Amino acid sequence: MNTDNICYTGVGSIKSGNHTKKQFLKIMNKNSKKECSIYNKSLKCKSCKKFIKMNIKNKIKMIQIKNKPYNTTNKTERKLLKNINKCNNCKKNNTKRCYLKKYMLFSGAKLGMC
């Protein structure tokens, strides 16, 4: 396996999907510089993690009830909104530039040939 190549078939990629590290970074810097930094910032934010957990729990409850409508309580809804706002503030503050590994995590690219 050649670790100098990256398999990426997303936005802006070439048809074969095989890119050098330099080509891959050029594509990522052009197409998803801001989105990558926001995504990676949200992975570390406590409020974002809480929001995702709460959202998953609510969806599981909806699935378990099946045909009956599920309404969240006011308390739960307030907690969700509070965590959404904190998460948004967390993502806006101190966004750092992405590098190769972060771009690969963000885009789903893999080392090696396609």
Q: 15 is in which domain, residue-wise?
A: 5-111
pLDDT higher than 50, residue 1: no
State how many domains the chain has. Answer: 1
User: What are the tens digits of pLDDT across the range 5-36?
Assistant: 899 988 888 888 899 999 999 999 888 888 88
Provide the pLDDT for residue 68.
66
User: What are the tens digits of pLDDT across the range 57-110?
Assistant: 877 777 777 766 667 788 888 888 888 888 888 877 766 788 888 898 889 899
Q: What is the pTM of this model?
A: 0.64
Residue with tokens 């699935």: 63
CB 72 within 8 Å of CB 58? yes
List, edge to edge, every strand of the sheet that includes 110-111. Answer: 18-20, 5-7, 110-111
